[in-house]
Amino acid sequence: MKRIGIIGGGILGLSSAYYLNKAGFKVTILDQGDLTEGCSFGNAGMIVPSHIIPLAAPGMIAKGFRWMFDSTSPFYIRPRFSKDLVKWGYQFYKHSNKEHVERAIPALKELSLFSKAMYQQLSKELPFDFGYQERGLLMLYQGVETEKEEIETAHLANQAGVEAHILSLSELQKLEPDVRVRARGGIYYPGDAHLIPRVLVEKLILHLKQEGITFHPNTTVTGFHTENNLVEKVKTDQGDFGIDTLVVAAGSWSGALCSMLGIGLPMQAGKGYSFSLPNVEKNIRIPTIFLEARVAVTPMGSSLRFGGTMEIAGVDHSINMKRVKGIVDSIPNYYPDMKVDIPRKENVWHGLRPCSPDGLPYIGRSRRLANVIVATGHSMMGLSLGPGTGKLVSEIALEEQSSVPLQAFDPGRYDD
């Protein structure tokens, strides 16, 4: 039985483990944390085939410069001297154009729809409920400029085969009868879904353990032993692990790990924050994004989660309450009857999203080391694309025809 070592116990590592185990591999997961933290726990829980435009897109450079000096803005790059950040920023700039978006749309669409199909399957075959619901997604806008951008995006989505409806405020209000909405209008994507991330991850870990997958939490990778262009051992502070195939699915740490392997993988950590309101009496029904504020709002049972911001600040676990205040301040602008206090610092979750400079994930075999598979760089869409990516990892390991074309996600695309 072939031994597969997966570095990373988030949704991408767990999804890969699930499908690799089903394919007959002996799977071991190594994680530097205790498996109760990371982006897979506190995110917005959205499954978003509607998100077919990458972060690197026309207009993001101008917005980035405008937002950069505002500590409460939705997108913030903390100015600092870093060679990696300069390289990443240059590639981001290079890809923020119409041609890149046109190439990226079909690739992201196929991967997103495939991953949603995997979620539909998992909701039937896993022996537990993780709150998967298909209620769609609302995108609310208040300004004329945002309206124009989003209507154009909706037309692009419809052209690409992703259903999108342009709604007036009265039409939006009919979809949300329990909460007063303030907006110029919005876009409704009926094909999106959502779930409760913590329930999915915690129960999936228990299920995988029952299926015989070995977990080594609190295990830091210190290096690798390679022979003949193959990784033979993963060196850690808890000893060495012999493997036949290695999967790097370590989120924002994947770039540093790949660097140890001599693999160049441009990556920056994009910090996001979230907090939840328990026992909301009048809750929203449909997951929603406040477009100007870039805040995601998701009903999770009787709770309501608010999440947002993209802070490119390196691997940094400090919590900037000004960023959290930016999220809180946006809420009454869209839900005028909803009064939300700034949460206590200890009740604010944060996660570091792994961001590639072109806004596309890295999925595929390393060109340099034949038994290394990379599955990372999904930015804000790690949860959404998790099962699809995990299934693709198992197909790569089995050397099968992949269910989705992988050229756009080649982890060696910056080597050219």
Question: With contact defined as beta carbons under 8 Å apart, do 105 and 53 qualify?
Answer: yes
Average pLDDT, the chain: 90
Residues in Cβ contact with 17 at an 8 Å cutoff, skipping those fewer than 6 apart: 6, 27, 29, 208, 213, 390
pLDDT value, residue 76 = 65
Closest by CA position to 315, among listed 11, 85, 90: 85
Closest by CA position to 154, among listed 145, 143, 165: 165
Residue 140, strand partner residues: 186, 290
pTM over 0.85: yes
Query: Could you tell me the CATH number of the domain that includes residue 9?
Result: 3.50.50.60
Band of residue 34 on the pLDDT scale cut at 50, 70, 90: confident
Q: How far apart are CA 328 and CA 334, in angstroms?
A: 11
pLDDT value, residue 89 = 79
Band of residue 75 on the pLDDT scale cut at 50, 70, 90: low
Assigned domain for 106 exists:
yes
Instruction: Indicate if the alpha-carbon torsion angle 313, 314, 317, 318 is positive or negative.
Output: negative
Q: How far apart are CA 99 and CA 9, in angstroms?
A: 35
Question: With contact defined as beta carbons under 8 Å apart, do 234 and 5 qualify?
Answer: yes
Total tally of structural domains belonging to the chain:
1
Higher model confidence: residue 97 or residue 141? 141
Q: Provide DSSP, 19-55.
A: HHHHTT-EEEEE-SS-SS-SHHHHS--EE-TT--S-S
Assigned domain for 15 exists:
yes
Assigned domain for 173 exists:
yes
- Work out the percent of the chain whose per-residue pLDDT is above 70: 92
Closest by CA position to 378, among listed 331, 344, 329, 411: 411
Mapped to the 3 state alphabet, what secondary structure does 242-268 carry? ECCEEEECCHHHHHHHHHHCCCCCCCE
Burial group, residue 317, by CB count within 10 angstroms (0-12, 13-18, 19+)? exposed
Residue indicated by tokens 């920023």: 89
Q: Structural domain of residue 141, as residue ranges?
A: 3-409
The predicted-structure confidence for 162-208, as pLDDT tens digits, reads as follows 999 999 999 999 999 999 999 999 999 999 999 999 999 999 999 99
Higher model confidence: residue 279 or residue 88? 279
Q: How far apart are CA 404 and CA 110, in angstroms?
A: 7
Query: Secondary structure of the chain: what % helix, strand, coil (to 5)?
Result: 35, 25, 40
Band of residue 323 on the pLDDT scale cut at 50, 70, 90: confident
Mean pLDDT of 76-97: 77
pLDDT value, residue 58 = 52
Mean pLDDT of 146-162: 92
Closest by CA position to 57, among listed 382, 379, 284: 379
Assigned domain for 285 exists:
yes
Closest by CA position to 192, among listed 161, 171, 163: 163
Assigned domain for 179 exists:
yes
Question: What DSSP element (H or E) covers 364?
Answer: strand 362-365
Assigned domain for 55 exists:
yes
The predicted-structure confidence for 194-253, as pLDDT tens digits, reads as follows 999 999 999 999 999 999 999 999 999 999 999 999 999 999 999 999 999 999 999 999
Assigned domain for 414 exists:
no
Q: How far apart are CA 37 and CA 351, in angstroms?
A: 8
Task: Tell me: pLDDT of 33 over 80.
Answer: yes
pLDDT value, residue 54 = 67
pLDDT value, residue 55 = 65
Residues in Cβ contact with 344 at an 8 Å cutoff, skipping those fewer than 6 apart: none
Assigned domain for 142 exists:
yes
